[in-house]
Structure 1
Amino acid sequence: MFRRTFWFGTGVAAGVWATTKVNRKLKQLTPDSLAATAANKALDVGGRVRDRAVGFALDVRDNMAQRQAELDDALGLKAPVDPELAAPRRRAAIENSNDPKYTVDDSTAYSYNRNEDH
């Protein structure tokens, strides 16, 4: 009698364990659970990608600044300025067409209009 009770209890325990395991798996496979799992994994991957991209951007910026300093040194752009030299001249971004050096005497002007009758 004791043997039968033992095996009956063991069977009930195995059935409860199997039922619980199957129910958990079924809950994991519902559409809502799958969507939540996918969203969590996407957030994790996005965070890792963002961290790597930020690290890469900082590395690029540091190396770019270092290379710019090397080029400035090689070209002498960071050299001290000699006070006896004149300041560099700047060119106007937009030239004044009313300035006398840009006016042309109408008698000698040549028309660049291709549609003009000749």
Structure 2
Amino acid sequence: MFRRTFWFSSGVAAGVWATTKVNRKLKQLTPDNLAVAAANKAVEAGGRLKDRAVGFALDVRDNMAQREAELDDALGLGAPVDRELPAPRRHTAIENRDTSRYLDRTTYTHNRNEDH
């Protein structure tokens, strides 16, 4: 008799356990829960993608700054700047030049008003 009671209670326990597992799985497969799970996965994927994009942008910025420094050194742009103002220039008076040669069509070969 004890044997039958043991196997009966074991069967009841296994049935309760299996029913509970099936009900939980069915609850997970409802359309609302599937939509929530898909949305959570999309948010996680978006976060990972954003982190990678930010890391890539920082790498690009660092490499760009390094390359600019190399180019500045190669072109001599990194040299210290002389802060002293240059000496003022002396301009000679402009003489009244003869502009008649520009008005003569025989010597002036390029006329901008001419149709091309």
Paired position in structure 1 for 2:33:
33
Is 1:49 aligned to residue 49 of structure 2?
A: yes
The 3 A distance-change label for structure 1 pair 6 and 66 is same
Which structure is larger by alpha-carbon Rg, 1 or 2? 2
Tell me what 2:92 maps to: none
> TM-score scaled to structure 2, two decimals?
0.71
Corresponding position: 1:69 with 2:72: no
Residues 57-111 of structure 1, C-alpha deviations (whole Å, 9 max, x = no match): 001001100100100110111223455768xxxxxxxxxxxxxxxxxx7x96624
Give RMSD over aligned pairs: 2.3
Instruction: Structure 1: state its 5+ residue gaps.
Output: 87-104
Number of the residue aligned with 1:110: 113
Query: Corresponding residue for 1:79?
Result: 79
Distance 2:56 2:80 in 1: 34
2-structure distance, mates of 1:11, 1:77:
86
Q: Under a length normalisation based on structure 1, what TM-score does the superposition of the two structures give?
A: 0.70
The 1:11/1:73 distance shift into structure 2, 3 A limit, reads: same
Name segments (4+ residues, structure 1) moved above 3 Å: 81-86
Tell me the residue number matched to 2:100: none
Aligned equivalents of 1:14, 1:34: Cα separation in 2: 28
Aligned CA distance change for structure 1 residues 34 and 68 (closer, same or farther; 3 Å): same
